[in-house]
């Protein structure tokens, strides 16, 4: 998808974010970076308050090819779940969508839930509503359904079209109409 799609997504996302109540899962890049800093300093600090411990139960960091990433704390290194910040959300969703061959909601959820901690179904739906090929496919399906429905008659000649031709002005004795069947 070209960059303009990402811009539209970001605008809609921002609208949705500002309309909903404060969601603890939502991370801006700024918040994301501050959380990384907080984890780093808390880990080296000897004195931890209760809410610090709570914070560390939700957030941890890991270094991936020189970049520090925010993750959900894990004991099992195989199954690391990353936090995603809003500025990179489009890229994450787009990759999952394309790698599943324009996968729908359920396939996207399946693809993302094991890798990311804070991608929501709402985010996925927002993304899907903006994918042009998917919208067209959906519209095509809807149109197709309508045509199939019209042709679903149980028996041959169970429906017909009837019309009347008006000959009242030139009636043939009592006959004033011709019925076209
Ligand atoms: Zn698509």
Q: pLDDT tens digits, residue range 81-94? A: 999 999 999 999 99
pLDDT the model gives residue 98: 96
Contacts of 5 (CB under 8 A, 6+ apart): 90, 130, 132
Residue 159: what are its φ and ψ, rounded to 5°?
A: -130, 150
Instruction: Tell me the H-state helices in 59-85.
Output: none
What's the CATH number where 20 sits?
1.10.340.70
Domain with 65 in it: 3-135
Tokens read off for 108: 């996207």
**Backbone Cα Rg of the chain:** 30
Q: What is the total count of domains within the chain?
A: 1
Q: Residue 133 C-alpha to ligand 1 middle, in angstroms?
A: 5
Ligand 1 midpoint to CA 127 (Å): 9
The 10s digit of each residue's pLDDT in 99-109 is 999 999 999 99
From ligand 1's centre to the CA of 6, what distance in Å? 13
pTM of the model: 0.72
In whole angstroms, what is the distance from residue 36 CA to residue 40 CA?
A: 6
Domain assignment present for 68 = yes
């Amino acid at each position: 998808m070209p960059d303009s799609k990402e811009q539209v997504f970001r605008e809609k996302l921002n609208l949705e974010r500002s309309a909903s109540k404060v969601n603890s899962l939502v991370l801006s890049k700024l918040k994301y970076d501050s959380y990384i800093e907080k984890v780093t300093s808390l880990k080296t600090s000897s004195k931890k308050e209760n809410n610090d411990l709570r914070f560390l139960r939700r957030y941890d960091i890991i270094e991936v090819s020189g970049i520090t990433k925010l993750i959900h704390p894990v004991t099992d290194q195989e199954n690391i779940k990353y936090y995603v910040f809003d500025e990179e959300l489009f890229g994450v969703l787009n990759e999952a969508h394309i790698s599943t061959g324009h996968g729908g909601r359920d396939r996207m959820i399946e693809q993302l839930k094991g890798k990311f901690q804070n991608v929501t179904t709402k985010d996925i739906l927002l993304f899907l509503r903006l994918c042009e090929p998917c919208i067209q496919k959906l519209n095509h399906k809807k149109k197709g359904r309508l045509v199939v429905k019209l042709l679903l008659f149980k028996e041959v000649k169970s429906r017909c079209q009837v019309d009347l031709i008006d000959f009242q002005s030139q009636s043939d004795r009592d006959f004033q109409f011709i019925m076209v069947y």
